[in-house]
Structure 1
């Protein structure tokens, strides 16, 4: 799994949109250590009949490494701030949060983000 996390960190370093959101190698490595990378690694291993070299080759094809993102990486800092402001105002009424603060986000995305956000140090 260390190899898969390394590929995830490498993919984030090459991805321009990730480097804006994850400006340091430390932050990229932290993002690569989250569940989405682990789940993708297990899925890739399974699809490649648990042959590690085949699985790693599948993660790093000719065009560059495969990048998997979770909701924490898909949201901008301003969207995260809006979410926290909305949560303070409405609590866990995700429908109102979506309607009044984040209409461009799906309800699923907001709920997924909430549960990931709860695991961060911003959740008090």
Structure 2
């Protein structure tokens, strides 16, 4: 019996820039804001999403951070964005500069090819 194919996860690179309001907070106030205002909204509205956070302000003035999201499917991603938009994260603490959304190795699945990857030894 062939393995059942599932839709590939959706990956979103959320390019964001801090606002003066966010920068005016202490580091502890920032952590508390995420813990009490942002994370609970995400958990209440969606499942099947994971994230990683990258600081880029050392190298860029236009984008200070990149929040990488992986969602099980497009619906989970849409629920995530809806949840974020209802928190101070969106346009108050951060300006969302751009959203780059895709699926890993989509071309390979489309054309039945092996994915091109690199390994450094």
Q: TM-score, normalised by structure 2?
A: 0.27
Larger helix percent: 1
Task: Specify which structure has the bigger relative contact order, considering alpha-carbon pairs within 8 angstroms and separated by 6 or more residues.
Answer: 2
Larger strand percent: 2
Q: TM-score, normalised by structure 1?
A: 0.27
